[in-house]
Structure 1
Amino acid sequence: MTQPRTSVPDSHPYLRAATAGVRHHARALTCPGPAGPPDRAHLDALHAHLTELHRLLDQLAEAARPPHPAAGRHLAAAHTRLWQAATDVHAAFHLLPTAHTDSVACRPDQLPDGPPVLTICQRHLAAGHTVRRKTTPTDLHRTPHTTSCAR
């Protein structure tokens, strides 16, 4: 009698769901039709995703470093590159036009919906504290990357 195959439980269901969501969004942007330029809300959501991935990579690098130093170094390098991507998305966010007039944009308390609870700048500054604790300025400006496989 043959034992039925049991699937291994997925230990990262939320990460898989987030990845599927990003893939779906990327496909939707490339569909025929007027996609239009990105807006601030789009970049804000992308920045939130990048900073959460940044935090996850930080935790993975810390966990991998003692038993597997080489893997930990690669994860730390990915952590740095992800921070650089989040910084560029943050900069792009500020280059897009706002929906409000300049006088209201400078006064979030006067926005129709009230001040935002967590703005992209607050999120970016909070993530920046982690970067400054664990990364040197030299590491942030040095971005060597090889595409060769170590196997």
Structure 2
Amino acid sequence: MPQPRTSEPGSHPYLRAATAGIRHHTRSLNRSPLPHPVDRAQLDTLHAHLTELHRLIDQLAQTARPPHPGAGRQLAAAHTRLWQAATDIHAAFHLLPATSTRTTECRPEELPEGPPFLTICQRHLAAGHIVRRKTTPTDLHRAPHTTSCVR
């Protein structure tokens, strides 16, 4: 599968590095002889990637909307779908078995791994505040639309 090209060789180096890291992780999971069950650390890292991508799409939508309203609307729709994905990852995190007998509710101080610097719950709540300021509850629960490429 051909890799997507950026407009300039040095454009968005951090985003390209993050994408390469995700591709590497996906390939390593596919190559392992025995399937490894997902763990909380993987979902926490994936949630961190999704929430950061969510913030990036939000910024891009704000800058695209005035000169290109159609592109801004599409980015806003992607923004909503990313939030829905992050919400599902957060829910899956709490459905995985805990490594100890302690509770798995949204209480960072009681997570089996201990409270890291920024837990998945804290990150999710912080991102939720941004989402509620910019998105209506109807938009959040709307089914994603499908589009076809016109080119």
TM-score by length of 1: 0.86
Amino acid at match of 2:61: A
Distance 1:63 1:98, change over 3 A: same
Q: Distance in 1 between matches of 2:38 and 2:116?
A: 20
Q: Let me know the Cα RMSD of the aligned residues.
A: 2.4
Matched with 1:17 is 17
Matched with 2:102 is 102
Amino acid at match of 2:55: R
Greater C-alpha radius of gyration? 1
Amino acid at match of 2:51: T
Q: Distance in 2 between matches of 1:51 and 1:110?
A: 20
Distance 1:29 1:110, change over 3 A: closer
* SS of match in other structure, 1:15: helix
TM-score by length of 2: 0.86
How do 1:73-88 residues align onto structure 2 when only pairs under 5 Å count? 73-88=73-88
**In percent, how many aligned pairs have the same letter?**
73
How do 1:37-48 residues align onto structure 2 when only pairs under 5 Å count? 37-48=37-48
Higher relative contact order structure (alpha carbons within 8 Å, sequence separation ≥ 6): 1
Q: CA deviation at 1:142?
A: 1.0
**How many pairs does the alignment contain?**
144
Give 5+ residue unaligned stretches, structure 2: 1-7
Give 5+ residue unaligned stretches, structure 1: 1-7
